[in-house]
Each structure stands twice: as C-alpha cells, then as structure tokens.
Structure 1
Amino acid sequence: MSPLRVRDFRLLLFTSVAVFSGVALLLSVVPLWVVHNNAGEFAAGGSTAAFMASTVAAQFAVPRLVRAWGYRLVTASGAVFLGAPAPLLLIATDWPGILAVSLLRGIGFGFVTVCGAALVAELLPRTALANGSGLYGLAVGLPQLIGLPAGTAAVEHWGFVPVFLVAGVIPLLGLVAIFGLPAVAPTRHDDDLPAKGSLGRPWLVMLSGSIGYGALVTFLPLALTDTVAASAALFASAGAGLASRWVAGRLGTRIAAGRMLPWGLALTVLGMAGLAASIQGESPWSAVAAVAVAGVGFGLIQNDSLVVMFAAAPVGRASVAWNVAFDAGTGVGAVVVGALVAGSSYPVAFGLLALSAAALLPVALSAGRAV
C-alpha cells in the first residue's frame, strides 16, 4: 500500500512542508544577520546552537505533553512558537536579542519534529514504514532544498526584512492541516515498554551526520565568498540529501534496516574532506560537488537510522532519540566549527569533522546487526 493513499498521512506531509519551510529560510540567514550586526563567526554559530539547544530541550518534553494534550495541540503550539517570533528579528539587532528569538523558535521546532516523526509510525502500518519515512523525508527536505539557497539569495537581493516576515507566516499556514489530523491516542509512546534493540549505535551515526550538516548550513555562506557558489552549494547539499533519503526509503522495503548506514557515513566523510580541500584550494565549484556527496551520505543516514530506531524501541522513545541526534548534532556542528574557525581556518575545521566521522565507521557497520 502506498502511504500517499492515507489521507491523514497527506495532512502530515502538508504540515511538515509548511513548518520546515519556516525553518529552512532562516537557518543560514540568522548567522548572516549576526555577522551583519558586527558579531563574529563564533556568535554566528551560537545563534544556530541556541536554536538547536532549545529544540533538544523541548523534544525531551514532547512524549509527556502528547500524552496530556494530544498530537494536534502540541504540533499546533510548535507551529506558533516557530513562526510568531521570527519577525522579532527585525528589532533584535544585538547578539542576546537574536539568541532569545532563536531560543523561542527552537521550542516550537522541538515540538513539531518529534510529533512529525512519531506520526509517521502512528498513522501507517509497519509494512509501509520505510516508504513512509522516505516520503516524510521529502516533505521536510523540499523546504531545505528551496529555502536554504532562497533565504540567502533573497537577503542578497532584497534584504533581511521580507525574509523574516515570510518565515514568520509560512509555519502558521500549517495550522490549517494540523487540526485535520485525527485524535491519535499515543499508546505506542509508552516509555515504560522495553527496547527491543540498541539505540546507541544508530544514534551515534545520526549524530555524526547531523554535526556535519549543522556546520554546512551555518557556515557555507561565510566559507564560500562567491555568493552564487554558496547558494548552489546549499541547494546541492539539500537536493542530494532529499533524493538519497527518498531512495533509501524505497530501498528500505528490500534491504535490511541498518545496511545503508556505513555507505552513508563513508560518503559523508568523503564529502567533508572534499569540502576542506576545495576551500583550501579556493575552488568554490569543487566545494559544491563535495557538499553534494556529503548530502547523499546524510540522506541515507537519516532514513536508515530512523527505521533502525523504530525497530529497536517504542515509537515515542525512538522519535525523541532520532530528533535529538539530528538537532543536537546540528547545534554542535555550528559551535564546533565556529570555535575552530576562530582559532584556525575553515579547511582545518571541516577536515577535523571528516576525521571524527571516519572514526565511527565501525559503529555504522555494526548498527544494523543490533536490531
């Protein structure tokens, strides 16, 4: 059965597109806004880290909130928290003000990410889970494909004001579909149920991939001085990740869970190392190709690790773990690269990320066997 035949799943996809569009537009723009207001790269990374830190903190609270309020109200609250504060960036021109807005928006993102991933498993039968996860990846990946480069390009041509306003409105459009979702009882969110396998190994692989992703979306517009190449690199990274996550979902019905993780991590290592070399050699279009390779790797990691976690633990626990790995890693990548760049250079920073990811290849090889 195709997941697209399920009406409630289609509503989830619409909601996800709206919410993630608001995130994607500002993910690379807010660091630019920080630098525009005369703070440095470390502060730029801190804005992404603040957003992701509050995201992760909120994610841990979601299972309890869902049991008390239900998916619809928690998801709707997330859309409001994410969209409503975005226009406040127009008056938040100092670093503390920008961080405060980022913290508020992160709470909303934490709510919608955990609810969205969990609803994939709640709304679909187990046999459609891998394919549904791939389609959900399209819904969250398309906004990145369009929004990441569009946000930086729009700032370049029209300034920050319209970008902040649009990013505030789009997540609120998701409210139309959110209240059409069924009142699903979160019975499968029972955290007292025993895990059926290990979450640790796929969690580490997902964390490593998201650290690289966080570094890319935060610093590509700053590391590549050619603005056209920077927008193309953001597009290539998001597009490659989108396509590979969808392919992984299609293949997941025939390939055992976890078998794509080593390939995904190896491609991530290759892409990050290629990016470091391209920046060192001042070859911006080689950097575009390198981040496309990294994007393919991260797309494979995203889908396969989520399927492994759903097989290893109850839905609520698996969704929280996967989203924490994604968002904590994104924040860590921004902070680590910001700190490394402050003391060294972009090639050194991205090279070290490649080495750290390579060290986890044995973990990726064994992750699928733990299910």
Structure 2
Amino acid sequence: MFVSTAGAVSSVFLLMSSVPLFVSANGAGDAGAGLSTGVLMLGTVLAEPLTPRWTRRFGPRAVTAAGLLLLGVPSLGLWALAAADSRAFLPVLALGFVRGAGLGIVVVVSTSVVADLAPEGRRSEVLGVYGVVVSAPGIAGLPLGVWLGLHVGYGPVFAAGALVALLPLAATPGLPSRHLDGVAHGAGLLAGIRNAGLLRPSLIFGATTVASGVMSTFLPLAMPPGQRRWAAVALFVQSCVTPVARWAAGRHGRSAALLVPSVVLAASGLALLVRVDAPVVALTAAALFGAGFGIAQNATLAVMFERVEREEFDTVSTLWNLAYDAGIGIGAVGFGFVAGGFDYRVGFAVTAAVMAAALVPALLDRRAARRA
C-alpha cells in the first residue's frame, strides 16, 4: 500500500507546481494557473465519495491499480502536449481532471486500509509514519518539478510524473483482493458531515489545505522572475518540514491538543508571504506553514479516527481526503482570481485571514473535548 501511495503522490507533487507554470507560460495567466490545480482537485473530490463503493465491489487491489493508471496515462498526454509545443489549455484541464480522479481513488483506499491495519493504541503513531510516506515525495517533487520545468523543460517533468505513477502497478498484486471486513459498511459521507466531532477537524484541515493549494500553485509565480530559484528552495523547505511535523504530531499522541497550534503556525506562515519578494521571509514563511500543515494533517486525521467505530473508517477517510483536495482546489482557483484582480500580496493576506478563521472550529473543538 505504501509503494502505491508513494508513487501516486510523487506523480502529483512533480506536476503540482510545474503544470501551473506551464499553462501560465503558454498565456493562460494567473486564472489559468489556478484553474489547472482547481480542475485537478475537482476530479479528486468527485472520485473520493465513490471510492468506498468501488472498493467494496472490486477490492483494494483492482481499485488502486485503476487509480494509478488514471494518474499515469494522462501524464503521458501532458508530455505529448509539451513535446508538440502545444498552447492548448482545455486539454490540460481535461487531463488534469482525470489525474485528479486517480489521486482521489488511491488516497481514499490507502488511508482506510492503513487505519484498519494499525494497532488500536498506536493508530496516531502509525498514521504519523503513513504521513511521512505520503509527504516525503514532496521533498523532492515540488521543488524538482519547478526546477526541471524552468531549466530542462516541461516535457521531461510530465514524463517523470507518468513513470512514477505507473511503476507501482508492479506492486499492486500484493494488496488485498477483497475489501477488509472491518470497514465494509459505514454510515456514509452525509452522516459524517452531520457529526460535529468530525466536521470541526474537517473544517480546520480544509482551511490549511486552502493555503497549501495557494503555496504550491502560486509561490513560484509570485516571486520576482529573477528570484524564482528561491521558490524552489522555499517549496523544498516546506516539503521537508511537513513530514517531520506530521511524524512528530503522531508521536505526541494527544492529537486534539494540537489543533489550535497547527492553525496558528500555518496562518503565521501565510501572513509572512505578503513580503514574498524577500527570499529570507519567504523561506521562513514556508517553514512555519510546513510545520502547521504537517501537524494539522496528523492531528485532524487521528482525532477523526478516534471518534468513530472501525466500521466508519471509510467515512473518515473520504471526509478527510475531501477536505484535503477540495481545499487545495478552492485555494488555487480563488487565489488566481484575487491575484488577477489585485496582486499576490492581497491574495496571501486573504488566505492568511481564511486560515485564522479556522481558529473558531479549533477552539470550539477544544471546548467540546474538555466537556467530554
């Protein structure tokens, strides 16, 4: 499961910042760059609620393999567009939508399977390790995609994204062929949304992922052209800090107590990006945001699993991944229009305000936990 997930997210991270740069360089502008990420996440969000049903019917092995194919084959289509020096924008969006569906399938299956296999008393710690597996590819993927796109060309980036998604197909025979009995029947996504104990951490995490979509899509574009090499460095810093923070949060164990600090750290990092033209400030912002984002990833997921029975793990996995991917898409698209109408600094300030608003559900969750 780890191999398949690592391949899927490696493909996504490689293209997460390079595709917006590609479409922007081809004349789509900030709005087009945001849409390229937004449509990717739209495909993910639409596939995620359906994945538990597909998994129950076809099993984790077949569904994971399908997800990897949906990620890898469209990446070859992007490579073909770059090789033909095409400036067509709609095919990029269509291919991104399919890639997003593949991502949604893989992450929902993997999160549910890992949570079910984890020992009851060590679930937070195991999820922290899983978080490192999911986040570690971003250490190289995000900055490498930017650097290769600017210095080697976008075609090789897209080809690499296809390769890392398709190679893990060789490992899928080792996955379970049938859905695990313990997570076969959940109450469903709507029931999860109506559960305040699940909705609050979902809102908190969704706010941090809005900022993540902004960072990965627009940080390279927001920095002055002569300083864009620093964008790759800043994304590298964020990508290094995030998995370490996620692992440390898993070791901490008291996940609910980490929700407020995660919001404060992430919002502080976004607020600093109003000085995105200063490389040292941008690097500091990336480190702060990476820490808050990593803590939020583990704390929200662990809290949500703690609040349901085992048969509801599919619901938690779907709801958490929806918050992740919808937030990234909303952040990228919304920031694109704000930056197009005003400038990048205004966009970063608005994003920081959205992050700060997540303190409301975080504080409400803390109060509810103390009463319980």
- TM-score, length basis structure 1: 0.92
- Residue 285 of structure 1 and its aligned partner are, at CA, apart by 2.2
The structure richer in helix per residue is 2
1:319 is aligned with what amino acid? S
Q: Distance in 2 between matches of 1:189 and 1:207?
A: 26
**15-24 or 198-207, which moves further after superposition?**
15-24
Q: Distance in 1 between matches of 2:150 and 2:199?
A: 42
- Residue 358 of structure 1 and its aligned partner are, at CA, apart by 1.1
Alignment pair present for 1:346 and 2:336: no
CA contact (8 A) 1:78 1:112 kept: yes
Q: How does 1:101-250 map to 2 (within 5 A)?
A: 101-187=95-181, 188-192=183-187, 198-225=197-224, 226-250=227-251
**157-166 or 48-57, which moves further after superposition?**
157-166
Q: Distance in 2 between matches of 1:26 and 1:106?
A: 11
Selected match of 1:76 from 60, 65, 70 = 65
- Residue 366 of structure 1 and its aligned partner are, at CA, apart by 2.9
- Residue 185 of structure 1 and its aligned partner are, at CA, apart by 3.0
Q: How does 1:26-37 map to 2 (within 5 A)?
A: 26-37=15-26
- Residue 197 of structure 1 and its aligned partner are, at CA, apart by 6.2
Q: Secondary structure at the match of 1:183?
A: coil
- Residue 192 of structure 1 and its aligned partner are, at CA, apart by 2.8
Give the structure 2 partner of residue 323 of structure 1.
321
1:88 is aligned with what amino acid? G
Q: Deviations over 1:165-186 (max 9, x none)?
A: 1111111111122220233533
Q: Distance in 1 between matches of 2:122 and 2:179?
A: 20
Q: Distance in 2 between matches of 1:338 and 1:330?
A: 12
Q: Deviations over 1:263-305 (max 9, x none)?
A: 00000111111111x22xx312211111210110011100000
Alignment pair present for 1:307 and 2:302: yes
CA contact (8 A) 2:54 2:63 kept: yes
Q: Percent identity?
A: 36
Q: How does 1:255-274 map to 2 (within 5 A)?
A: 255=254, 257-274=255-272
Q: Distance in 2 between matches of 1:185 and 1:44?
A: 38
Q: Secondary structure at the match of 1:260?
A: helix
Q: Distance in 1 between matches of 2:121 and 2:92?
A: 44
Shift of the 189–348 alpha-carbon distance from structure 1 to 2, 3 Å rule, reads farther
- TM-score, length basis structure 2: 0.92
- Residue 365 of structure 1 and its aligned partner are, at CA, apart by 2.3
Structure 1: which 5+ runs fail to align?
1-11
Structure 1 runs of 4+ with >4 Å offset: 193-197
Q: Distance in 1 between matches of 2:148 and 2:280?
A: 21
Q: Deviations over 1:214-258 (max 9, x none)?
A: 000000110112122110111111111111001111112xx2x31
**180-189 or 215-224, which moves further after superposition?**
180-189
**146-155 or 118-127, which moves further after superposition?**
118-127
Shift of the 298–189 alpha-carbon distance from structure 1 to 2, 3 Å rule, reads farther
**180-189 or 21-30, which moves further after superposition?**
180-189
- Residue 189 of structure 1 and its aligned partner are, at CA, apart by 3.9
Alignment pair present for 1:67 and 2:56: yes
- Residue 362 of structure 1 and its aligned partner are, at CA, apart by 2.7
Q: Distance in 1 between matches of 2:165 and 2:296?
A: 26
CA contact (8 A) 2:58 2:178 kept: no
Q: Distance in 2 between matches of 1:204 and 1:301?
A: 11
Q: Distance in 2 between matches of 1:262 and 1:84?
A: 40
CA contact (8 A) 1:197 1:311 kept: no
CA contact (8 A) 2:59 2:176 kept: no
Q: Deviations over 1:95-150 (max 9, x none)?
A: 11110110111110010010111111122222221111111111111111110000
Q: Distance in 2 between matches of 1:152 and 1:342?
A: 21
CA contact (8 A) 1:229 1:285 kept: no
Q: Distance in 2 between matches of 1:29 and 1:119?
A: 31
Q: Distance in 1 between matches of 2:279 and 2:222?
A: 9
**174-183 or 110-119, which moves further after superposition?**
174-183
CA contact (8 A) 2:187 2:315 kept: no
Q: Distance in 2 between matches of 1:351 and 1:186?
A: 45
